[in-house]
Structure 1
Amino acid sequence: MTRDIFDTLPAPERHAVLRVMPMPADANIHGDVFGGWIMSQVDIAGSIPAARRAGGRVATVAVNAFTFKHPVFVGDLLSFYADIVRTGRTSITISVEVYAERQRLTVEVVKVTEATLTYVATDEQRRSRPLPPI
């Protein structure tokens, strides 16, 4: 297992909220996965803890930060880890980290992306609503 000194692996007891393997349709002709595809998966992963905390529907209102640290290739197994970092009256800010498990001659795990997104809880009419108490 190869590690970048700045990209430590998540603790073993931490569970990925999403795991997915990009396919050829998600990449360019060289097998490099599109950044937009990764961004959409990050948004899905971030919405999972946000919707749980909101007790229902949420909408993405901001991508506060998004960093691509290493390329992602067709066949990498991506694990998305998402944590709530802040809540407001109606909003939830989520940190998402993405690790790629590359299965070449040896298994290599690298942190490929990190992002911070903000979601807002919404009602049936898609208007913002207060978060329920914990």
Structure 2
Amino acid sequence: MHGDVFGGWIMSHVDIAGSIPASQRANGRVVTVAVNSFTFRQPVFIGDLLSFYANIVREGRTSITVNVEVFAQRMGLAADVVKVTEATLTFVATDSERKPRPLPPTQ
């Protein structure tokens, strides 16, 4: 409304970014079961270029916890890059009946 990007939009993209390494590790479908932490460190402005970085930080029998960091490249005269958001989410691998399933063994 005042030149800032809506936080819910960023949250949805953090969920997508986190699901990518989780689904790769699970070798299939995953669902988000928890947002363990979510911190907005700085505002995101309209026109910022965002980069999302996600990595697995913990694995359980069926669950995968992923940390996601979001950086914004400010598109003003001086192209600053700042961390704007960080979050930790937990995903669970599910089967064709959408029930939790064990993660496959690692290679």
TM bucket (normalised to shorter chain) is: over 0.9
Between the aligned partners of 2:46 and 2:24, the Cα distance in structure 1 is 31
How many residues align? The count is 106
Quick one: which amino acid aligns to residue 68 of structure 1? F
Identity across matched positions, percent: 75
TM-score, normalization: structure 1?
Answer: 0.78
Which string of whole-angstrom CA distances, capped at 9 and with x for unpartnered residues, describes residues 26-69 of structure 1? xx2x1211111000000000000000000000000000000000
Which residue of the other structure, out of 16, 19, 32, is the alignment partner of 1:60?
Answer: 32
Quick one: which amino acid aligns to residue 3 of structure 2? G
Give yes or no for the alignment of 1:44 onto 2:16.
yes
Give yes or no for the alignment of 1:88 onto 2:60.
yes
- 1:88 Cα deviation from its structure 2 partner: 0.2
Q: Give the 5 Å matches for 1:1-134.
A: 28=1, 30-134=2-106
TM-score, normalization: structure 2?
Answer: 0.97
Which string of whole-angstrom CA distances, capped at 9 and with x for unpartnered residues, describes residues 8-39 of structure 1? xxxxxxxxxxxxxxxxxxxx2x1211111000
* Runs of 5+ consecutive residues of structure 2 not aligned to the other structure: none
- 1:124 Cα deviation from its structure 2 partner: 1.1
Please give the root-mean-square deviation of Cα atoms over the aligned residues, in Å.
0.5
1:18 corresponds in structure 2 to: none
- 1:73 Cα deviation from its structure 2 partner: 0.8
Secondary structure of the residue aligned to 2:80 is strand
After the TM superposition, list the runs of 4 or more consecutive aligned residues in structure 1 that deviate by more than 2 angstroms. Answer: none
